[in-house]
């Protein structure tokens, strides 16, 4: 015999979903690769994004967490998905100077000319010849 779920107050489910999304976005900022992998493997959207369009991958890349970046890319995260300002994960990693993250994103097929500014333009703007070399 199946027991029906208990009634939820208005908006309770939406609040739970929003709290889980916030937890995952914070995990990306902190670089908690294991938590992100577990939730995405259980069905959470790999391209989950905050209101400003920053995806889990964008947040992990911008904060320099290569293990989280790799975990998300391995699960199909879009390496070129831009936020609401047109910024992509690769440009964020270039802006912050995270060469290991840049390598991972490029290896996953991220376009160095996508976004505004593009990763290539950001590397040129800051005279990061080392990062320009990684972009091909």
Q: Decide: pTM greater than 0.85.
A: yes
Residues 88-118: tens digit of each pLDDT: 999 999 999 999 999 999 999 999 999 999 9
Range 76-83 average pLDDT: 98
Residue 52, Cβ neighbours under 10 Å: how many? 10
Q: pLDDT tier at 5 (50, 70, 90 boundaries)?
A: low
Whole-number Å distance between alpha carbons of 78 and 70: 12
Strand spans (E) along 3-124: none
Range of 63's domain? 12-135
Q: What share of the chain has pLDDT > 70, as a percent?
A: 93
Residue 96 belongs to domain with CATH number = 1.25.40.20
How many domains in the chain?
A: 1
Q: Which pLDDT belongs to residue 22? A: 97
Q: What is the mean pLDDT of the chain?
A: 95
């Amino acid at each position: 015999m199946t027991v029906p779920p208990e009634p939820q107050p208005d908006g309770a489910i939406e609040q739970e979903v929003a709290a889980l999304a916030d937890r995952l976005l914070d995990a990306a900022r902190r670089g908690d690769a294991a938590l992100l992998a577990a939730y995405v493997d259980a069905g959470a959207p790999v391209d989950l994004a905050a209101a400003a369009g920053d995806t889990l991958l964008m947040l992990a890349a911008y904060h320099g967490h290569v293990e989280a970046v790799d975990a998300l890319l391995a699960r199909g995260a879009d390496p070129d998905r831009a936020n609401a300002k047109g910024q992509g994960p690769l440009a964020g990693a270039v802006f912050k100077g995270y060469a290991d993250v840049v390598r991972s994103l490029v290896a996953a097929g991220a376009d160095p000319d996508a976004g505004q500014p593009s990763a290539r333009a950001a590397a040129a703007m800051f005279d990061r010849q080392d990062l320009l070399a990684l972009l091909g």
